[in-house]
Amino acid sequence: MKWAFADFDSLSVEIDRQTLSQEDRKRVEDLVKHRPIQFCMFLKTLIGAEEMQRMMVEAIKVAR
């Protein structure tokens, strides 16, 4: 987990988003659509439901 998002760069994601074909974008969206749920399940098991919810709500606030 330490390095899962270490090389995240929103600029390259934005460039990809602008240049992907509709078909490729749909394929990427299909690949990641369950990841938030899986991550929540991971956190719930690791730190409990209440702390998972607090953490995810805070993450959504920051990301907005």
Q: What is the pLDDT of residues 5-59, one digit of tens each?
A: 677 788 888 898 899 999 999 999 999 999 999 999 999 999 999 999 999 999 9
11 lies in a domain?
A: no
Q: How far is CA 42 from each of CA 5, 11, 13, 35, 57, rounded to the nearest angstrom? A: 16, 28, 25, 10, 16
8 lies in a domain?
A: no
30 lies in a domain?
A: yes
Could you tell me the residue range of the domain that residue 38 belongs to? 23-63
Number of compact structural domains in the chain: 1
4 lies in a domain?
A: no
Place of tokens 């240049």: 19
Position 8 scores a pLDDT of 77
Position 12 scores a pLDDT of 85
Position 2 scores a pLDDT of 67
Is the predicted pLDDT of residue 3 greater than 80, yes or no? no
Position 1 scores a pLDDT of 62
